[in-house]
């Protein structure tokens, strides 16, 4: 699946994806229109959600496919460093503090508690989560 981490300064993600039974390298974090964006879950659905957000995020145009619970997550970090977490609704959660998402979230959260950076937290998660893999990509403002 993914490990995605925002530590308040840096957005980091693993780069492992799957295509059937094959492992592939994929990009999961993006810098677009002054925002940092991270995607988790079904890549096609997450990318559709990301494009919806970048095209104005109008609630009435939220992708129907994105309404399925657990299918994908879009994390948006605004230029003001406000976090918006879009799951199966056009109305985001607004989590505070460090954020970890994906199948490696618990391992990454533990690493953050121990003082790791976002990048190091994803590296740690990649060691214990079969659905996350190196290398790690990072973005900062």
CATH number of the domain enclosing 58: 3.60.20.10
20: containing domain: 3-140
What would the two tokens of residue 12 be?
């980091």
Q: What is the total count of domains within the chain?
A: 1
Report the C-alpha gap between 93 and 87 in whole angstroms. 8
As a whole number of Å, the CA-based R_g of the chain is 14
C-alpha distances in angstroms, 40 versus 12, 55, 57? 12, 19, 18
Report the C-alpha gap between 140 and 34 in whole angstroms. 11
Q: What is the pLDDT of residue 115?
A: 98
Q: What is the pLDDT of residue 76?
A: 98
pTM for this model (two decimals): 0.95
26 touches 47 (CB < 8 A): no
Q: Give the mean pLDDT per block of 10 residues along the chain (141 residues).
A: 95 95 96 97 94 97 85 95 96 97 98 98 98 97 84
Q: What is the pLDDT of residue 1?
A: 80
């Amino acid at each position: 699946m993914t490990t995605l981490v925002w530590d308040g300064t840096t957005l980091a993600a693993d780069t492992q994806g799957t295509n059937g039974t094959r492992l592939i390298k994929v990009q999961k974090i993006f810098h677009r229109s002054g925002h940092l964006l991270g995607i988790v879950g079904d890549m096609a659905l997450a990318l559709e959600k990301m494009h919806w957000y970048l095209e104005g995020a109008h609630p009435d145009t939220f992708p129907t496919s994105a309404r399925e619970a657990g299918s994908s997550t879009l994390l948006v970090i605004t230029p003001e460093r406000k976090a918006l977490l879009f799951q199966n609704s056009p109305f985001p959660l607004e989590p505070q503090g460090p954020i970890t998402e994906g199948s490696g979230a618990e391992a990454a959260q533990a690493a953050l508690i121990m003082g790791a950076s976002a990048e190091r937290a994803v590296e740690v998660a990649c060691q214990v989560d079969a659905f996350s893999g190196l290398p790690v990509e990072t973005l900062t403002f």
